[in-house]
Structure 1
């Protein structure tokens, strides 16, 4: 199939803007929200966050869910200058109460960042988004169950939520679930399965998982001993800020060609 040129895409975007503007003038909330997106991203128009916010505000005033969320993000993140937590929270909560999982998750983060944190409210919001399959909330809810914050501590429930997020590709959830399975902590112990989840997390760029995988390859535990792979994952973990004195010594004792082979694989690494 022939690819469209950037010029063709630009014409399509400008056409969409013209249609949206015509509908917005008639009071169409979805068209107003679309104009907000176009001005925010600079698609078919010169990017202008103030105009984007204006269109989002008009759309949000009519109850458009996406516009409420976008407006909340703009104010909370201070995209127009200084953050405006009060206005940001107002619009974010409106979107969350209509069931938008991204907004529910953000409300959970806001509750967790209060001084002191409101863990009960955070858990309630994360649970709402997690039940809709939102991976970040599934992971955060797992953490709360693991630590007993806002909910009764329950390692089994923690493992269930970590597993759900891990299946969706959440690298931190894959790490925590892998450790639980490897150790038999709240779930049935299976070192082989646990190690595979650690590898999933490592391949997605988690430096702690990369360190654990390097140790497994270096010691030959679960995985067949492979010093080149050990060097690769150790280097990646170090680059990510996870040092390991034992692995430093292990790598230093290896033949130079083995070290170089591992280093080359680390340099060629691309996260999944």
Structure 2
């Protein structure tokens, strides 16, 4: 299933010499439908960045959340960015920190840098993130599947 997303990435990057974002998105959708966290994350990224589709932070959040619930560290980091910047959601540094910390624990070096960057903003943000209980495997995952 991740192979489908990788084919999408090749189309998006123009690996064969011809960049085709629409074809990439078709492959990302196939991958996501097959359960690929990589495909789900890619769709979140294209909606967040308006890559071949109109910018839609709600769609970005939905795809990132699905991928994060499947264990995707980049998607967890993507959710952190949405919450930190208030993109399609109410800005919430505590929730952003939670997602960044989960992503860092899952191996995202970008998320680890985000955690380090947010820490100097104040102890309250960090403590709020640490004190919030996580329901289920990842906060928000159970609610999204209900």
Q: Which has the higher contact order (CA 8 A, sep 6+)?
A: 2
**Residues of 1 paired with 2:65 and 2:114: CA distance?**
18
**1:147 aligned residue:** 85
Asked if 1:166 corresponds to 2:104, the answer is: yes
In the TM superposition, what is the alpha-carbon distance from 1:142 to its structure 2 partner? 0.5
Asked if 1:187 corresponds to 2:126, the answer is: yes
8 Å Cα contact 1:155-1:185 kept in structure 2:
no
**Residues of 2 paired with 1:95 and 1:176: CA distance?**
28
Alignment TM-score, normalising by the size of structure 2: 0.74
**Residues of 2 paired with 1:133 and 1:66: CA distance?**
13
Name stretches of at least 5 consecutive residues in structure 2 with no aligned partner.
129-146
**Over 3 Å off, 4+ runs:** 179-182
Of residues 128, 145, 153, the one that matches 2:66 is: 128
Q: Which structure 2 residues correspond to residues 2-17 of structure 1 after superposition, within 5 A?
A: none
In the TM superposition, what is the alpha-carbon distance from 1:67 to its structure 2 partner? 4.3
Question: Greater shift after overlay, 153-162 or 167-176?
Answer: 167-176
**2:9 aligned residue:** 73
Task: Supply the RMSD in Å over aligned alpha carbons.
Answer: 2.1
| Residues 179 and 113 (structure 1), Cα distance of their counterparts in 2 relative to 1, 3 Å cut | closer
**Residues of 2 paired with 1:108 and 1:129: CA distance?**
9
**1:61 aligned residue:** none
**Residues of 2 paired with 1:68 and 1:169: CA distance?**
23
In the TM superposition, what is the alpha-carbon distance from 1:145 to its structure 2 partner? 0.6
8 Å Cα contact 2:38-2:67 kept in structure 1:
yes
> Helix, strand or coil for the counterpart of 1:186?
helix
Alignment TM-score, normalising by the size of structure 1: 0.42
Note the alpha carbon deviations across 1:182-222, whole angstroms, 9 max, x for none.
42242218xxxxxxxxxxxxxxxxxxxxxxxxxxxxxxxxx
Name stretches of at least 5 consecutive residues in structure 1 with no aligned partner.
1-64, 190-272
In the TM superposition, what is the alpha-carbon distance from 1:66 to its structure 2 partner? 4.1
**Residues of 2 paired with 1:78 and 1:118: CA distance?**
24
Number of residue-to-residue matches in the alignment: 125
**1:99 aligned residue:** 35
Q: Which structure 2 residues correspond to residues 186-225 of structure 1 after superposition, within 5 A?
A: 186-188=125-127
**Residues of 1 paired with 2:74 and 2:40: CA distance?**
11
Note the alpha carbon deviations across 1:132-179, whole angstroms, 9 max, x for none.
221111111101111111222222211110111122332232232234
